Amino acid sequence: MGPASKKSISMRPRNILKAMRALPSPGGYCSVGRQALPDGVFWSADPSQHFAGPFAMKAELNKAMVAKYVQDGLVKHKANYYSRAFAEVFRDLEPKLQSLVGLVEEPVEFGHG
């Protein structure tokens, strides 16, 4: 892979992030298109339980995590502790991009020196 190809590939994530940063804030804690958060923490086999949001405020997100914990049948005294602790632990979070997956379509060959 030549220098021009390397530069082109390295610029892809930068350009993608630049475009994503230009998007308006969704106004809360949610997935793209103000959809539910796609995380196993919020998954439920019961469709009437909506633990995954979207959430307008951090307090709603914290409450949903504790409610999901209780619904899973885990220890209730821990749920009580979490409901108090989450307000302190997650107090300064800003919604932001959590991960970036970059794909290179052409095979990359590594030489020896």
The tens digit of pLDDT for each residue in 25-68 reads 778 888 888 888 888 888 877 777 778 888 888 888 888 888 88
Tell me if 112 is assigned to some domain. Answer: no
Tell me if 36 is assigned to some domain. Answer: yes
Tell me if 105 is assigned to some domain. Answer: no
Q: Rounded to whole angstroms, how far apart are CA atoms 11 and 62?
A: 37
Tell me if 62 is assigned to some domain. Answer: yes
| Phi and psi, residue 50, nearest 5° | -110, 80
pLDDT at residue 9, as a whole number: 87
Taking alpha carbons only, the member of 98, 86, 99, 96 closest to residue 28 is 96
Residue 12 identity? R
The reported pTM is 0.55
Tell me if 26 is assigned to some domain. Answer: yes
Domain that holds residue 51: 3-89
Instruction: Name the domain count of the chain.
Output: 1
Q: Rounded to whole angstroms, how far apart are CA atoms 88 and 85?
A: 5
Tell me if 94 is assigned to some domain. Answer: no
